[in-house]
Structure 1
Amino acid sequence: MKQITRIAIDLSKGAFQLHAIDAEERVVLCRQLKRGQVLGFFAKMAPCRVGMEACASAHYWAREIGALGHEVVLIPPAFVKPYVKRGRKNDANDAAAICEAMARHSVTTVPVKTPGQQAVLMLHRARKMLVGQRTMLANALRAHLAEFGIVAPCGGKGLATLIALAVDAADPALPALAREALAMLAAQLRDAEAKIDALDHRIREACVTDEACRRLATIPSIGPITASAIVATVGDPRRFKTGRDFAAWLGLVPSQHSTGGRTVLGPITKAGDRHIRSLLVLCATGMLRYGKRSPWIAALLGRMEARKATVAIANKLARIAWAILAHGGTYRRQAGLNV
């Protein structure tokens, strides 16, 4: 077999499809391995370039195969899909598409995350799931109680009032069977809130011990949750040339549909990491609602609606965050320009 220059792996739980190319761009290997055979196979190979989609378990395999001396690249699935043969999707063709995408210099790769980065992001993912469950439970309680004519104002205080009514056995407004079901929902809601508080505390602890997180937390409206999410996701900030590139990576720039020299801008692209983008938009929303408005924000609101201004502020927060991560230091206010 000729020397392999690059090899692609189509990952799965148990069966891993390989597709290898030599220096003359000829296929020299196309086979399937079981999970337990993967590391042994690459341990016997001469160092080469290994590519895989940035999907579930990809970072683990990238670390393991990289430790064997290979250069591992992770490719976003969106850049692999154009090379999949139309109407002929299978594991072998998927691996061939990954191998083809590896040869394109314009394809953006995903940095391999460390176990520490993944651990911090797992805290964020667990918290996000619990927040969603809390919202579902709160909405369910409100909807069920409304069927019996019991309503309360929006917000935490109103919800607390409803929970008290739901578990009050002396209140005749609810049938016993309904109260039993609602008490279960209320208990689950309290449990979700306790777990969210525990995760918030753990994220704050991790932020305090991380120097980059502490520097990001000096930016107005950015707290430990947003700071730790950015640091854990971005890794090396210098892979972005400018802050604008970072904001574009997060999808906080307008989409384009231009032709014939005519520039047409649309809504934001919403590309990149949805979690960080939503956190930055929430930070910007809080700044508009509750923060002291700087001259820059006042001028922004003077020429666009509040929702557009929120995204513009989120874009600026992203640029500031990149500058602090890439060049060091902390946030410094500038007269007339500070957010």
Structure 2
Amino acid sequence: MEYFAGLDVSMEETHICVVDRDGAIVFETQAISSAAAIAEALGAAPTCRRVVFETGRMAPMLFHGLAELKVPVICIESRQAYQALKTLTTHKTDRNDARGLAQLARTGFYKAVHVKSLPAHAVRALIVARKKLVGQRVTLENQIRGLAMVFGVRLPRGLSPAFVDQVVQMSASIPGLSGAMRGLVAARAAVLEAVSAIDADVKRLVRVSDACQRLMTIPGVGQLTALAFAAAVDDPSRFRRSRDLGAYLGLVPRRYQSGEIDYVGSISKVGDKRVRTLLYEAANVMLTRYKGELKLKDWALAIARRSTMRKARIALARRLAIIMHAMLRHGTEFRPA
């Protein structure tokens, strides 16, 4: 007899349900949301062929922890599971969700997703933290600039050396404004120091990564883009075709078809937003700053002449994703042609 399990994971507890091949419930329990506790709870049930749970914040830790403990765990797409679970029960409870997930595991009606390795998640955390800090720096500079504008002072660019000097000079004779500006400038300096520390980590990671070094041979692809793309792909072999990267990163047009209606819209924008943005920026650099001869650039400029520069950047970003995946998969460098 085959058995299947569903795990409804929350921060504190995980509801576990095991069903047999016919869908009858044979085991139910709760466990602390840790890989060891869940594996121990499943040890009291019949050996399961599949154990499924949904994507979420705790998915990487639980997936890799359970896999190390030899549990046949599968992480499934939460949006698809949500739509399926809505049709199974009237009331949404953790217990019912675990039962529904067990039924999905039994029937195979789920979409399995790749759970990135923990080092890849660590790199992604580094990139997300940098983006957040840069946003905080811009917010502080805009706040300083707005306060200065009230007193008729126009400040230079935030990263110019004269920025802080002019802020201090213009606020020195105004007691209340001086204290506010000193606090904002100190906060900005702390944020800049944190960004510099993250940039040093990025340089160190790129320096020891052969994959990133190969990706950076593409004009317009810098350290941050190479590192973010390598972390997003994680395992190049999980994509059967390089062209699948366009859809994975949301760089292909969204399509809706029903009967006589067949609508092709703008790009879907699913997947990793930060990687998509970095690829778009790399495409823009190649089109506007790279002065060498490159057929890839000429191809994108031809699209711009037929349509718009924005569509050319998107098309080039999609092509860059395909090329970069092929480079990661085959261990090759960029060959301008």
Instruction: Confirm whether residue 178 of structure 1 aligns to residue 177 of structure 2.
Output: yes
Structure 1 length as normaliser, TM-score? 0.88
1:324 maps to which of 327, 331, 334: 327
Where 1:156 maps in the other structure, the secondary structure is coil
Instruction: Confirm whether residue 14 of structure 1 aligns to residue 9 of structure 2.
Output: no
Q: Which moved more, 1:89-98 or 1:273-282?
A: 89-98
Aligned twin of 2:42: 42
User: What aligned pairs does 1:183-198 form with structure 2 within 5 A after superposition?
Assistant: 183-198=182-197
Aligned twin of 2:264: 265
Structure 2 length as normaliser, TM-score? 0.88
- Cα distance, 1:311 vs. partner? 1.0
| Structure 1: runs of 5+ lacking an equivalent | 335-339
Instruction: Confirm whether residue 205 of structure 1 aligns to residue 204 of structure 2.
Output: yes
Identity %: 30
Instruction: Confirm whether residue 298 of structure 1 aligns to residue 296 of structure 2.
Output: no
Aligned twin of 1:149: 152
Q: Which moved more, 1:82-91 or 1:215-224?
A: 82-91
Where 1:266 maps in the other structure, the secondary structure is strand
- Cα distance, 1:44 vs. partner? 4.8
Residues of 2 paired with 1:9 and 1:272: CA distance?
24
> Alignment length, in residue pairs?
328
Aligned twin of 1:77: 78
Aligned twin of 2:52: 51
Where 2:185 maps in the other structure, the secondary structure is helix
Deviations 1:11-35 (A, max 9, x none): 1221111122211222223332234
- Cα distance, 1:231 vs. partner? 1.7
Moved over 6 A (4+): none
Residues of 2 paired with 1:103 and 1:177: CA distance?
68
Residues of 1 paired with 2:171 and 2:190: CA distance?
24
Contact 2:206/2:223 (<8 A) preserved: yes
Residues of 2 paired with 1:105 and 1:23: CA distance?
12
Deviations 1:156-203 (A, max 9, x none): 33xx5443222237743xx22122112111111122112112211211
What is the aligned-residue RMSD (CA, Å)? 2.4
Letter matched to residue 332 of structure 1? R
Where 1:212 maps in the other structure, the secondary structure is helix
- Cα distance, 1:269 vs. partner? 0.4
Residues of 2 paired with 1:131 and 1:33: CA distance?
40
Residues of 1 paired with 2:180 and 2:103: CA distance?
55
Residues of 1 paired with 2:134 and 2:106: CA distance?
41
In structure 2, relative to structure 1, the CA distance for the partners of 1:179 and 1:96 (3 Å cut) is farther
Aligned twin of 2:118: 115
Where 1:205 maps in the other structure, the secondary structure is helix
Where 1:18 maps in the other structure, the secondary structure is strand
Contact 1:221/1:284 (<8 A) preserved: yes
Aligned twin of 1:337: none
Residues of 2 paired with 1:270 and 1:208: CA distance?
31
- Cα distance, 1:239 vs. partner? 1.8
